[in-house]
Amino acid sequence: MAKNKTAYVCQNCGVDSPKWIGRCPSCGEWNTYVEEPVLQKDSRTILPSLSAPAKPILVSEIAPQAHRRIQLQSGEFNRILGGGLVPGSVILLGGEPGIGKSTLTLQIALDTQLKVLYVSGEESAEQIKLRADRLAGKNPNCYILSETLLENILKHAQSMNPELIIIDSIQTLYTERVESSPGSVSQIRESAAQLLKYAKETGTPIFIIGHITKDGTLAGPKVLEHIVDVVLQFEGDNNFVYRIIRAHKNRFGSTAELGIFEMMGTGLREVENPSEILISHRNESLSGVAIAATIDGIRPFLIEIQALVSTAAYGTPQRSTTGFDIRRLNMLLAVLEKRVGFKLATKDVFLNIAGGIKVIDPAIDLAVIAAVLSSSLDIPLPDDCCFSGEVGLSGEIRPVNRLDQRINEAAKLGFKRVFVSGNVKNMPPIESSTKIISVNRVEHLVKYLFTKQSVE
């Protein structure tokens, strides 16, 4: 009898090796190689081909066809996908445990009128029923299947012909063709390939939920992201109610879109205007609070920057941020000390972006500096102003892109003044009466906000 061949496969990136290696030469991770059997070339596929073999065809002879997108009840999700579900597409949804992946997909299955097959390898049918009662969905054609064997799942799919399939999750599936445990690189790769084959041959869209690793990337081989058509990342903090979905890959739309949801007891609610929620409505003016006009993807909205500057109780001052890069905060503090003369080396500085979201837009630098100065001087900023500008190492305020959209968003919420860079050229027309205040350097901002002449 022939001996089964084995190889050592990295469980992080999927690179194989004929022998065990301590450190993966591809991804650099240690102790990730596991011995797995090699799939034989003559093994049969799980799903027989449903169509005739493809033949070469001239590109000029291909008839263009418009994709008929399937509209979901969630407008935010339709926009992320580029206008709706494309038949035969495979969507991979990743996120941290407890972030709301299963809740979102079950909510999609219950709100639509499509014939849905919801496959769960992590929960029983009774557990899913409890969540479905809480979500109060009314889809009479939503079928629940608690199964982890891929062969059985495809047999049920072929017999009932669903219009939408949801897999929760890809790490729990296994096939008898691969002799390894569920969640291994070989099992994930083979299961995803067979699901893709079924989706393309039947035109059935498939949602696949994936786990993520400790560093925030999708678990499994990198080929998993190449196989699917759309890769969505579910972001947010379990301690906050807001969730953000970003498209990292989309073959049928833009990757600049994002959707914002609010986690409630009855499921995820769409947030159509995030600016009104991310900004707190205060009855009194407080120091250390500044409003920044930012853009994430192609969507402008306003966020609240909160800063607290106090005397260091111990020898070493603390620097702490939530939702903002700590290294960029240290750079802005160095600019304030070098260019403006504020001595912050002995002060504790804490920075927080309200709502629990993470922002990497450099246009909020100006708001961060204004909030830090306001807290350090204990002088509240005016309630009717917001900020949008990038700060350089020499203290200059640099212009940002799509400034007109930022200003129009600020005007919708009643802000009368917007601080921007003085180096803006060819300012686009603004559809509001908001006053635009141009400042070239950080020193000019300090004089305008915290001097008696500007107050008067």
Domains of the chain, by residue range, sit at: 6-37, 69-272, 277-455
For residue 63, name the pLDDT band (cuts at 50, 70, 90): confident
Is 204 within 8 Å of 229 (Cβ atoms)?
no
Please give the structure tokens belonging to residue 369. Answer: 């500096």
**pLDDT given for residue 204 in this prediction:** 94
Please give the structure tokens belonging to residue 319. Answer: 């620097």
Q: Please tell me the distance from the alpha carbon of residue 446 to that of residue 145, in angstroms, as a whole number.
A: 62
Task: Classify residue 328 as left (phi > 0), alpha (psi -120 to 50) or beta.
Answer: alpha
Residues 30-39 as b/e (b if ≥16 CB within 10 A, e otherwise) read eebbbebeee
Sign of CA dihedral 107, 209, 161, 90: positive
Please give the structure tokens belonging to residue 103. Answer: 């809740």
**pLDDT given for residue 42 in this prediction:** 46
Residue in the structure block whose two tokens are 């970003």: 246
Question: What is the chain's Cα-based Rg?
Answer: 27
**pLDDT given for residue 273 in this prediction:** 80
- Entry field: residues in the chain: 456
> How large is the average pLDDT for residues 61-88?
84
Q: Please tell me the distance from the alpha carbon of residue 416 to that of residue 434, in angstroms, as a whole number.
A: 5
Q: How many CB atoms lie within 10 A of CB 122?
A: 14
Is 268 within 8 Å of 261 (Cβ atoms)?
yes
Which residues share a beta bridge with 117? 143, 165
Q: Higher confidence at residue 63 or residue 252?
A: 252
pLDDT (tens digit, 9 = 90+) per residue, 422-442?
Answer: 776 666 666 667 888 989 999
> How large is the average pLDDT for residues 369-384?
92
Best-predicted range by mean pLDDT (52-61, 177-186, 204-213, 367-376): 367-376
Residue 113 per-residue DSSP state: -
**pLDDT given for residue 328 in this prediction:** 95
The answer to whether residue 454 scores a pLDDT higher than 50 is no
pLDDT (tens digit, 9 = 90+) per residue, 303-352?
Answer: 999 999 998 877 788 999 998 999 999 999 999 999 888 888 889 999 99
> How large is the average pLDDT for residues 37-50?
55
- Does CATH number 3.30.230.10 belong to domain 277-455? yes
CA-wise closest residue to 100 among 50, 71, 135, 70: 135
| Least confident residue range of 52-61, 94-103, 145-154, 169-178 | 52-61
**pLDDT given for residue 373 in this prediction:** 93
> How large is the average pLDDT for residues 59-65?
79
Q: pTM to 2 decimals?
A: 0.76
CA-wise closest residue to 340 among 373, 311, 310: 373
- Residues belonging to the binding site for ATP are 95-102
What phi, psi does 269 have (nearest 5°)? -105, 140
**pLDDT given for residue 346 in this prediction:** 85
Burial class (CB in 10 A: 0-12, 13-18, 19+), 216: exposed
For residue 13, name the pLDDT band (cuts at 50, 70, 90): confident
Work out the percent of the chain whose per-residue pLDDT is above 70. Answer: 90
For residue 281, name the pLDDT band (cuts at 50, 70, 90): low
Q: What angle do CA 431, 363, 263 make, to 5 degrees?
A: 85
Q: Please tell me the distance from the alpha carbon of residue 196 to that of residue 212, in angstroms, as a whole number.
A: 20
Distances from the Cα of 390 to the Cα of 79, 97, 342, 377, 381, angstroms: 29, 35, 19, 22, 19
Across 169-298, the runs of DSSP E, i.e. the strands, are 206-210, 230-236, 242-250, 258-264, 267-270, 289-296
- Residues belonging to the binding site are 95-102
The helix or strand, by DSSP H or E, that contains position 194, with its residue range, turns out to be helix 185-202
CATH number of 69-272: 3.40.50.300
For residue 211, name the pLDDT band (cuts at 50, 70, 90): confident
